[in-house]
Structures are given as structure tokens and as C-alpha cells.
Amino acid sequence: MNREVTVWAPATVANLNVGFDSLGCALTNPGEKMIVRMTNAKGEVRIRSVHGAALDMSSDRNIAAVAAKSLLHAMGDPCGFELDLYKSIKPGSGIGSSAASAAGAVVAVNELLNAGLCREELLPFALDGEQLASGARHSDNVAPALFGGLVLCPPVGMPLSLPVPDGWHLVVLHPQIEVRTADSRGALPEVVPLSDAVKQVGWMGAFVAACFRGDAEQATFALEDLLVAPHRQKLIPHFEEIKQAAFKAGARTGGISGSGPSTFWIAKDSKDAKAVAHALEECMAQMNVPCQLHEAQIAAQGAHIIP
């Protein structure tokens, strides 16, 4: 049996404008690795090292550790684990840093324990980790980080994988500031107007229907956000300028990625995506905001063991 595995886990874009807390996709880039090793300390999970981010290493407050421990306990604590985390998805970036940690940890533990759980069965354990970050138990980052692809998470029941719209090329802009998920959720209203809720449901329905029809254009057109972005835009420096630059350079649609501050922009091909990335880089340089840009497509595979 393996005593050590390396796992890769993808970044994710949650909400995708139409599906607050219920829709998300996995990205081909960025992604990150963790190495998980079995130890003899039964029931104990230790973070041995963290590279690329200053994370809490305590086993009760580190997301990967909490997710790993949750699954380990459910399996009867036959051993312990130590983890080396290589964080290339920045915490507080809005592209599922905590979800990648949680998903990677449960995939590794499942493999090392030879537990044979399927992705659906791993989800609740990954959520035990993820909920530390946002204070809420929503799967729109964790489910795509585990399953890959484009995933719809209904209020009750298991996530559903949706057909991925053809040819979507995403550009993710991450201004180098941190927005805590809990703060970003705090900016949202308790109640929304019924007329907005009705329209939002309509857009979500149109999006899902377009995915199943294989109509990428209609799926792109349907990505309207009436409920969330209007309240969160203020947390993202120069959101209006970013939006204008992205559309002018050829983005078909876009919005806030998860709880921000990253934004995502969808282009029809890699040439347009490069033009959008270039325009956003220039826009951020003009505003004097350091940033990271990622060009990606939707990753078919979620967190998985790599050699």
C-alpha cells in the first residue's frame, strides 16, 4: 500500500453570476499540489509545511487538516497523516483556495486508507474543511474542485455535473488584495426584491437549458447577476474599469469570481482570451494595482493523485 501520495487540486470559479452558492466550475489553471504521508499517530493530522502562503498550521484551524481529520475519524482513525501544502492558489483570492485544500486532502486520505469512497461520498468531509473559511456550508467551490467540470449544487441532494459550454476560454484577474469570504458574504442583503429573484431564476434556468442544448452562445448570454454583484462590486477596486477593459478587448461576459476580489471573463477562443488578459494587465498597471492573471479552460478532472 502507498504510504505517501501527491495530489493536484484545481482552482474554481463559484457562482458564475447566475448561481450564488450553487454553481461552480474547475479551472485548468491555476492548480496546486499537496503531499500527504501516513504516520503511526492514530487519529492525528499534522501540517508539516506550507509553501507559498502564510496559513494557520494548527490541525483544528487549517482547512486541509480539518477535512483530512474528518475523513480519517469516519474511517476509525487507523493511522495519522502529515501534510505538505504547496499553495499556488492564493487564500482570499476568490478562486477556491480553501476548496482546493479541502478537496485535495480528502482525495489523498481516501487513497492512502484505500477507503474506496466515490466523489459524492467524499464531499461532506471536504465541506467540513471548507466551512471553516466561509462560515457557511456551500459546495459551489468544493464540488467542482472534487468532481471537475461545471457543477450545479441544488439546495438538497448531490451535485449535478452539467455539460460544459463549448469553447469557453476564461481569464481570471486577481488583484493582489485579500477579501475574506466571510466579509464578502456580510456585504450581501438578507432579502432581495421578488422581481429580481424571479429574473435570476429565469437566467439560471436559461443557462442550464443552454448547457444541455450545447448552445454555448446562449449559455454565455444567460450569465446575468442581479442579486450578488451589485452589492459586492464595491469590495473590488476599479471593478467598472476592469469590466469595460475586458468587454472592449473581446470578453463576452464576466463577473465576480466567488466572493472576490478575483473577476472572471469569458472569451470565445484563446486569441480573444489573450487580448482580454493583456487589456486587464494594462488596466491594472494604469491603476497601480498589482495583479495576477490566469488563462484557463474548464478542467474536466477535479482533485486527483499525480505521480
* Grid cell at residue 302: 477535479
C-alpha–C-alpha distance, residues 25 and 144, integer Å: 5
Nearest distance in Å: CB 303, ligand HSE:
17
Residue 130: active-site member: yes
225 in contact with ligand HSE (CB under 6 A): no
Which is closer to ligand HSE, CB of 132 or CB of 219?
A: 132
Considering the candidates 82, 130, 220, 253, report the single residue annotated as catalytic. 130
Strand partners, 175: 291
Query: Is 281 among the residues known to form the active site?
Result: no
Contact assessment for residue 171 and residue 277, using Cβ atoms and an 8 Å cutoff = yes
Q: Which of 31, 258 has the CB closer to ligand HSE?
A: 258
Query: Does residue number 14 form part of the binding site for ligand HSE (CB under 6 A)?
Result: yes
Q: What is the DSSP code (8-state) at residue 60?
A: T
Q: Cis peptide before 261, with omega less than 30 degrees from 0? A: yes
Is 140 a binder of ligand HSE (CB under 6 A)?
Answer: yes
Only one of the segments 35-43, 81-89, 137-145, 238-246 lies at the binding site for ligand HSE (rule: CB under 6 A); that segment is: 137-145
Decide if residue 181 touches ligand HSE (CB under 6 A): yes
Is 265:276 a contact under the CB 8 Å cutoff?
Answer: yes
* Other Cβ atoms closer than 10 A to 1: 7
d(C-alpha 136, C-alpha 143), whole Å: 14
- Peptide bond between residue 30 and the one before it cis (omega within 30 degrees of 0): yes
Q: Does 138 bind ligand HSE (CB under 6 A)?
A: yes
Three-state secondary structure call for residue 131: helix
Q: Does the footprint of ligand HSE cover residue 185 (CB under 6 A)?
A: yes
Give the three-state DSSP class for 186.
helix
For ligand HSE, the closer CB: 138 or 252 = 138
Closer residue to ligand HSE (CB): 179 or 291: 179
Choose the binding region for ligand HSE from 54-62, 81-89, 133-141, 161-169 (rule: CB under 6 A): 133-141
Instruction: Name the residues annotated as catalytic.
Output: 130, 181
Chain contacts with ligand HSE (rule: CB under 6 A): 14-15, 20-21, 134, 138, 140-141, 181, 184-185, 258-259
